[in-house]
Amino acid sequence: MSFAAELDNRTQLEEVPAVALNPALEDHLSEFADRFSLTTRERQLMELLVSGYGTVPVLAKHLDLSPNTVHNHFKNVFRRTRTHSKTGVLALFIQHVTSPSEEPPAIVDHS
């Protein structure tokens, strides 16, 4: 078994501890979710991502979802925030925390 496959298997099997965010960070996350109209599930994904849980298998296990569903929720987060990756959305969140008064970029819905 390759190293990547072994690591993926271990990641999938590990227990995922409960997430407890710093109250100040919790407030920023709520503001961020409101600013970009994130759903409750998308906000939960962001909470885990901000807490350091970045792999889809771990997120799926923690939220009791399939990995495909987690991918779909991330696609929606990326669309709403006009980012293209978890790194991009985290950078946008950090920007929000450090400069919360700035207006968000305009969101264009191409539906």
Tally of CB atoms within 10 A around 82: 15
Which token pair is 21?
A: 């965010």
Tell me the helices (H) and strands (E) count for the chain, helix number first: 6, 0
**CATH code linked to domain 22-98:** 1.10.10
Find, among 88, 5, 99, 19, the residue nearest to 52 by Cα.
Answer: 19
In this predicted model, what pLDDT tens digit does every residue of 24-38 receive, in sequence order?
788 899 999 999 999
- Domain coordinates of the chain in residue numbers? 22-98
pLDDT at position 5 over 70 = no
Whole-number Å distance between alpha carbons of 50 and 86 = 10
- The amino acid at residue 74 is F
pLDDT at 94: 92
Rank 15-29, 48-62, 68-82, 94-108 by mean pLDDT and report only the highest: 68-82
State in Å, rounded, how far the first CA of the chain is from the last one: 43
CA distances from residue 53 to 21, 64, 75 in whole angstroms, order as listed:
12, 14, 17
Which token pair is 86?
A: 């978890």
In this predicted model, what pLDDT tens digit does every residue of 37-70 receive, in sequence order?
999 999 999 999 998 888 999 999 999 999 999 9
